[in-house]
């Protein structure tokens, strides 16, 4: 029988093989060395978040990803402005195309898997350009000093275009460095660099959102109308400076429910932390025994959150891109002329100077920012309708249901794709268990038998896993979180920290018992 034709992506190999990449270690990397790389990359990440883009007018810059900033592990106006957005978007596109068989690659084949990874790297470069160029021509404004400096050599129009090009090159360099840093952590460290950056960004947002003593509006002095931005300082300040009658008539409502960083958001953040920590520990354990060594037993854990938090990361990236392109199409003069979608309010419309949609499809797909965004307008539309951009209670209810539905269904779909593309499906796990010499007691040692047993659990748990993380993320967004970290961000941060702790334990175990590396896939 003739071999199946290879994917057309093989034609890109001469190009993709020459892209800068981090080489894999030739042998086993010791635990201390892995931890050193993780810490070093984390420090470098925080350095990059504080290196601002040269020639950018920080005052007139609009942050298109403001509501997704913590999730995308970015920092406005810095080299990390795009964050992990291009990496995750590139991963989404490749997963969808391979999962839908549009791209014919067998990820169980080493050669096809290498082509998949190199093509994804090339796609990340394309997505960096796709995300950087519209922003620079729309909302990342070059400083007049840089424009005037370039105009002296190239003229007025040439100076503006050269200033924009300089900013685009900096965004490109920063984003590709993030991609390489992710490879360093994946190959030389522990876990995933993308996950590490998300956890770091969310932890920073929660810390500042809880303890920030600076006024919410930094351009004005502290006052009851401009309290501290952090939850705890804000609560203390209002209680100390507002009379008892004022607390009863509206002060407690401000403390508990009103932005910035209400007390309910802090309580919700803590509750989410403990709930996710509990859910992460729920698992089914299949008993295993060694086929030849009597008494050698073990267990294969199938966690309730089997697909990890990856589906939520992918969904967050999809919704961030929807928000970005909706804002560009509605507010940017260069895109308003596009037929059917340019400047159309049904796609999403925005108030001047804001990046959060006020209506249209983008609004229905946007995450509510706590109880004040949806519960208060539903309970008292006349008094709090302005918090929902003037929408009535029915529209607000549809917004909540649409957002939760999209998050849950989307997370289920991405969970299934993720399991298939990362060798976590029944067939791949069965081969992994069989190759290590283990088997399920009472069953014949045969990968096909193992596969049938695993098919009773893994597909069901995969769907439950996607639905669980989607519902948790959406529910946390509805409750609200401190520091604008978002429910998705808190969910991801907690899950990532637990998984990092477990990965560190596994690495230490393999360090003490090298024979276990074969089963866990170590070097």
Residue 97 structure tokens? 């195309």
The span from the CA of 53 to the CA of 460, in Å, is: 47
485: DSSP letter:
-
- The helix/strand/coil state of 228 is strand
Q: What is the pLDDT of residue 515?
A: 54
Instruction: Please tell me what DSSP assigns to residue 484.
Output: G
Q: Which residues face 288 on adjacent strands?
A: 298
pLDDT at 471: 92
Tokens of 518: 């074969």
Its domain, for residue 136, covers: 30-189
Q: pLDDT value at position 210?
A: 93
**Which pLDDT value is given to residue 425?**
84
CA 484 to chain centroid: 14
In a domain, 174, yes or no: yes
Q: 52: which strand partners?
A: 78
Q: How many CB atoms lie within 10 A of CB 112?
A: 19
Would you state the pLDDT for residue 128?
A: 93
β-bridge partners, 196? none
Nearest residue to 94 via CA among 105, 110, 85, 78: 105
Instruction: Let me know if residue 139 belongs to a domain.
Output: yes
Residue 296 resides in a domain: no
Query: CATH number for the domain including 171?
Result: 1.10.3370.10
Q: What is the pLDDT of residue 293?
A: 56
**Facing residues of 56 across strands?**
142
Whether residue 369 is preceded by a cis peptide bond, meaning omega within 30 degrees of 0, is no
Phi, psi of 301 (to 5 degrees): -85, 130
480 Cβ contact list (under 8 Å, min separation 6): 262, 264, 265, 268, 369, 370, 371, 372, 487
Contacts of 505 by beta carbon, 8 Å cutoff, 6+ apart = none
Contact 34, 159 (CB under 8 A): no
Residue 258 forms part of a structural domain: no
Judged by DSSP in three states, 506 sits in helix
407: in domain: no
Alpha-carbon span 461 to 479, nearest angstrom: 26
Predicted pLDDT at 63: 78
| Confidence at residue 512, expressed as pLDDT on a 0 to 100 scale | 66
Query: Is 275 within the bounds of a domain?
Result: no
Q: Residue 94 and residue 107: Cα distance in Å, rounded?
A: 12
DSSP, collapsed to helix, strand or coil, labels residue 299 as strand
Give the number of domains in the chain: 1
What's residue 1's pLDDT? 39
What DSSP element (H or E) covers 161?
Answer: helix 144-188
pLDDT for res 61? 78
Q: Residue 54's pLDDT is what?
A: 92
Q: Is residue 70 part of a domain?
A: yes
CA distance 254 to 243: 14
At residue 514, the pLDDT reads: 58
pLDDT of residue 328: 84
Q: How far apart are CA 151 and CA 129, in angstroms?
A: 24
The model carries a pTM of: 0.77
Q: Tell me 384's DSSP state.
A: H
pLDDT of amino acid 238? 92
- Provide the pLDDT for residue 513: 60
Q: Are strands 297-303 and 438-439 parallel, antiparallel or unpaired?
A: unpaired
Distance from C-alpha of 169 to C-alpha of 173, rounded to nearest angstrom: 6
- Is 102 inside any structural domain? yes
pLDDT, averaged in runs of 10, over the chain (523 residues): 65 85 83 91 92 88 76 86 88 79 77 85 91 84 89 82 93 93 91 88 90 87 89 93 86 84 89 85 80 64 83 84 86 80 88 85 89 85 82 92 95 88 81 76 74 88 92 88 83 85 80 57 51
Contact 454, 497 (CB under 8 A): no
Angle at Cα 442 formed by Cα 439 and Cα 447, nearest 5°? 40
In the numeric block, the tokens 């959150």 are attached to: 305
């Amino acid at each position: 029988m003739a071999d199946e034709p290879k994917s057309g992506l093989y034609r890109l190999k001469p190009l993709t093989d020459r892209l800068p990449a981090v080489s894999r270690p030739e042998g086993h990397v010791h635990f201390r060395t892995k931890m050193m790389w993780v810490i070093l990359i984390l420090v470098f990440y925080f350095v990059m978040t504080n290196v601002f883009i040269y020639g950018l007018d920080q005052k007139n810059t609009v942050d298109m990803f403001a509501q997704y900033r913590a999730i995308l592990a970015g920092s406005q106006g810095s080299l990390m402005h795009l964050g992990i957005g291009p990496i995750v978007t590139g991963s989404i596109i490749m997963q969808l195309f391979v999962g839908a068989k549009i791209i014919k690659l067998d990820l169980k084949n080493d050669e096809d898997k290498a082509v998949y990874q190199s093509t994804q790297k090339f796609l990340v470069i394309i997505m960096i350009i796709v995300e950087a160029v519209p922003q620079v021509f729309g909302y990342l404004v070059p400083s007049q000093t840089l424009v005037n400096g370039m105009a002296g050599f190239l003229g007025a129009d040439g100076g503006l275009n050269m200033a924009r090009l300089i900013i685009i090159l900096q965004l490109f360099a920063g984003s590709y460095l993030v991609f390489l840093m992710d490879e360093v952590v994946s190959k030389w460290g522990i876990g995933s660099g993308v996950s590490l950056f998300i956890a770091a960004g969310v932890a920073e947002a929660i810390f500042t959102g809880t303890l920030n003593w600076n006024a919410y509006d930094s351009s004005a002095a502290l006052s009851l109308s401009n309290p501290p931005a952090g939850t705890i300082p804000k609560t203390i300040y209002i209680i100390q400076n507002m009379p008892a009658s004022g607390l009863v008539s509206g002060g407690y409502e401000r403390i508990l429910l009103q932005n910035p960083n209400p007390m309910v958001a802090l309580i919700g953040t803590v509750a989410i932390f403990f709930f996710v920590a509990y859910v992460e520990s729920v698992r089914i354990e299949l008993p295993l025994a060694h086929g030849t060594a009597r008494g050698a037993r073990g267990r294969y854990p199938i966690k309730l959150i089997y697909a990890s938090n990856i589906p939520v990361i992918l969904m967050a990236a999809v919704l961030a891109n929807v928000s970005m392109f909706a804002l560009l199409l509605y507010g940017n003069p260069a895109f308003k002329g596009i037929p059917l979608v340019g400047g159309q309010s049904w796609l999403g419309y925005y108030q001047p100077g804001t990046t959060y949609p006020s209506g249209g499809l983008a609004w229905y797909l946007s995450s509510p920012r706590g109880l004040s965004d949806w519960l208060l307008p539903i309970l008292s539309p006349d008094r709090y309708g302005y918090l929902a951009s003037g929408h009535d209670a029915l529209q607000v209810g549809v917004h909540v249901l649409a957002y939760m539905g999209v998050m849950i269904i989307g997370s289920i779909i991405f969970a299934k794709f993720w399991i298939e593309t990362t060798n976590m499906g029944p067939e791949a796990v069965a081969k992994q268990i069989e190759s290590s010499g283990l088997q399920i007691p009472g069953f014949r040692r045969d990968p096909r038998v193992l596969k049938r047993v695993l098919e009773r659990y893994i597909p069901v748990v995969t769907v439950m896993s996607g639905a669980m993380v989607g519902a948790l993320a959406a529910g946390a967004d509805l409750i609200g979180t401190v520091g604008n970290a978002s429910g998705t961000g808190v969910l991801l941060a907690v899950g990532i920290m637990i998984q990092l702790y477990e990965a560190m334990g596994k690495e230490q175990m393999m360090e003490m018992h090298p024979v276990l590396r074969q089963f866990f896939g170590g070097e």
